[in-house]
Amino acid sequence: MKHWLVGALAGTVLCAAGGMALAQEESTNRVNAETDWSVFVEDDPTQCWVVSTPRETVNTRDGRVVSVRRGEILMFVSFWPGQERMGEVSFTGGYPFADGSTVSMEIGDSTFELFTEGEMAWAASPQDDQRIITAMKRGADAVLTARSSRGTQTQDTFSLIGFTAAVEDAEARCGN
């Protein structure tokens, strides 16, 4: 799996944070917060990332809003200087995605496709990551629409307030 470290990163944030409020209070590797986005740094190997939780979540099944239990719902942009992976966009929906499905990400008038494996989704290429980051810097929010392995349609809306400052901070801390 090309993005095995993204899963490890998500696990680190999920275990250490247990949510943004808890991350802000308990995590020792959070170095900054910019409105709706937090900046984290790990050493050995060096890695930096920004992360946010959705401000709104809607779950539907057969066209009806339903209540479902989901794990942590997080969007990341990660920097892995030791692997020359800079600005990797990823998302975890808090459930296993439907096999072969994709996640649609809408930012303003732009739509992007994230590919899924297990509970993680990410862009297909570094060029797609950069296009998404550019749109995120210009946008007000990002709406991610996905389908769980149980057939639930989810729509998570992330605020992009503070994203530019947070991602530039993370990139500066982990720039090669």
Pick the CATH number of 4-174 from 2.40.100.10, 2.60.40.1880, 3.40.1710.10, 3.40.50.2000: 2.60.40.1880
Average pLDDT over residues 54-62: 95
- pLDDT band (50, 70, 90) for residue 85: confident
Angle 122-123-124 from CA coordinates, rounded to 5°: 120
Longest CA–CA separation in the chain, Å: 48
40 forms beta bridges with 30, 49
Q: Judging by DSSP bridges, how do beta strands 110-117 and 74-80 pair with one another?
A: unpaired
- pLDDT score of 44: 80
Structure confidence by residue, pLDDT tens digits, 125-146: 999 999 999 999 999 999 999 9
Say if pTM beats, i.e. exceeds, 0.75.
yes
Structure confidence by residue, pLDDT tens digits, 108-126: 999 999 999 999 999 999 9
Q: Of 62, 94, 60, which Cα lies nearest the Cα of 75?
A: 94
CA 16 to chain centre: 16
